[in-house]
């Protein structure tokens, strides 16, 4: 028990018993505004990162494989578990809609929850997402974990085995809220957005100063202001006539205003770092353009950012959704290769090499290309012209284009 108490203390979570929280215990910068998930999603960079990650993960097919023994496995298309994870998580959502909702909660709140509905046999037949801000996780004194789901005035208490809980990094019990930990960054971005709106309020045109070398009374000042108001408000008129002794001077952007623009550009890169998304994928102008190292950036994004999310989901589904009997029969995983899918020319060249060298069967390659299997395509084949040097001269063409080896 002492070990777990120290572990929770290290990660800044709540005490081992009671409500678990993923909020930071101290603020990096004092007096920062709490933007919150709704406010953060109004920052274009946050929206772009969340949209990209959620759709990238949700668009991948989620497969269920039946273990066949001997290291072999097959898609369990006829099992209800395959229908649940691959086809329809519940009666009203598609898989993309379900996983987008889960990833959205995971990225913005650090935790995502779905109620697992089970039949009389204990097998899951539906997954229903729950809003993370309506769910509270409680660690009871006896060591069990329950989830309280608040909906309007009612509260449902769910057992741990009936809740799919996806967690960000944390103490293993609760995930840390990424948005709360990046509050200083989102607050700076929100303040910069507010200042930019004020600066460009008048049609994006800086105001100017009209100088007159005599003192005007209030009536004269109002008349001059009315006549020259178009200069400041962006009138369609292009010709302004100045009387004698009048001089108009336009006010350019101040160094502070120019620094504001730099701050906004920097905030894009800073938010992208928080989400692990290359800024070039959000069309940020300060970074490399398409065609210059972007392929390597994409590969790094898939492997270092997307892949850890997929593993986290796969392991959580296997632990919470599958029963112990199902875990011994099935494995679940996303088709990550769909992200790394090469061009048709490269895929067929690699597939041909794999088939010719006996690495994969023809039907295994056809399955990767979503093609139906062929009769006799489950046998490994190899080129007959690849032979050890010691057997050169002993391999001859046999009948029916076969081969035969001449005894030494």
Instruction: Give the DSSP per-residue string, 43-84.
Output: SHHHHHHHHHHHHHHHTS-EEEEEEEETTEEEE-TTSHHHII
Average pLDDT over residues 244-256: 63
List pLDDT tens digits, range 382-408. 776 655 556 555 655 555 555 555 555
Cα–Cα dist 373/116, whole Å? 35
User: Residues 323, 162: contact at Cβ < 8 Å?
Assistant: no
pLDDT at 123 over 50: yes
* Chain centre to alpha carbon of residue 361: 34
Cα–Cα dist 175/166, whole Å? 8
Domain extent listing, the chain: 1-201+253-341, 207-251, 355-408
Q: What is the mean pLDDT of the chain?
A: 78
Predicted structure pTM score = 0.71
User: Residues 267, 45: contact at Cβ < 8 Å?
Assistant: yes
Average pLDDT over residues 80-109: 95
In the chain, count H helices and then E strands: 15, 14
pLDDT at 146 over 80: yes
User: Between residues 331 and 186, which one has the greater pLDDT?
Assistant: 331
Closest CA to 320 of 196, 161, 89: 161
Cα–Cα dist 92/12, whole Å? 38
Predicted pLDDT of residue 6: 43
pLDDT at 125 over 80: yes
Share above pLDDT 70 across residues of the chain, in percent, rounded to a whole number: 68
- CB within 8 Å of 355: residues ≥ 6 apart: 361, 362, 365, 381
Q: Pick the range with the lowest mean pLDDT from 1-15, 131-145, 333-347.
A: 1-15
Instruction: Give the DSSP per-residue string, 245-257.
Output: TEEEEEPPPPHHH
Predicted pLDDT of residue 171: 82
């Amino acid at each position: 028990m002492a070990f777990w108490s120290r572990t929770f203390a290290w990660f800044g979570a709540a005490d081992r018993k009671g409500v678990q929280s993923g909020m930071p215990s101290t603020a990096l910068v004092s007096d920062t505004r709490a933007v919150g998930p709704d406010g953060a999603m109004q920052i274009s960079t946050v929206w772009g990162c969340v949209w990209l990650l959620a759709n990238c993960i949700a668009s991948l097919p989620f497969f269920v494989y039946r273990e066949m023994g001997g290291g072999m496995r097959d898609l369990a298309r006829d099992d209800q578990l395959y229908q649940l994870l691959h086809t329809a998580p519940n009666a009203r959502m598609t898989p993309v809609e379900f996983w987008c909702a889960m990833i959205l909660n995971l990225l913005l709140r650090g935790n995502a929850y779905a109620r697992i509905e089970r039949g009389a046999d204990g097998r899951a037949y539906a997954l229903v997402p729950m809003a993370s801000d309506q769910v509270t996780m409680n660690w009871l004194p006896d060591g069990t974990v329950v989830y309280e789901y608040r909906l309007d005035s009612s509260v449902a208490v769910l057992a741990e085995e009936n809740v799919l809980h996806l967690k960000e990094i944390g103490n293993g019990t609760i995930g840390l809220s990424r948005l709360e930990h990046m509050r200083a960054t989102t607050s700076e971005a929100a303040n910069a957005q507010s200042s930019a709106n004020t600066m460009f309020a008048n049609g994006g045109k800086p105001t100017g100063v009209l100088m007159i070398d005599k003192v005007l009374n209030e009536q004269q000042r109002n008349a001059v202001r009315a006549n020259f108001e178009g200069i400041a408000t962006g009138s369609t008129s292009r010709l302004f006539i100045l009387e004698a002794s009048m001089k108009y001077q336009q006010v350019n952007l101040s160094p502070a205003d120019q620094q504001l623009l730099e701050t906004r550009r920097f905030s894009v890169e800073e938010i992208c770092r928080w989400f692990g998304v290359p800024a070039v994928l959000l069309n940020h102008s300060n970074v490399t353009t398409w065609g210059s190292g972007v392929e390597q950036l994409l590969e790094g994004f898939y492997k270092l950012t997307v892949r850890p999310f997929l593993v986290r989901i796969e392991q959580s589904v296997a632990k919470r959704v599958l029963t112990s009997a199902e875990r011994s029969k099935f494995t679940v995983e996303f088709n990550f290769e769909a992200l790394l899918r090469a061009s048709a020319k490269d895929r067929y060249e690699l597939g041909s090499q794999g088939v010719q060298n006996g690495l994969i069967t023809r039907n295994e390659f056809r399955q990767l290309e979503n093609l139906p299997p062929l009769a006799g395509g489950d046998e490994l084949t190899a080129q007959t012209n690849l032979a050890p040097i010691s057997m050169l001269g002993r391999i001859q063409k046999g009948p029916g284009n076969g081969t035969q080896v001449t005894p030494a």
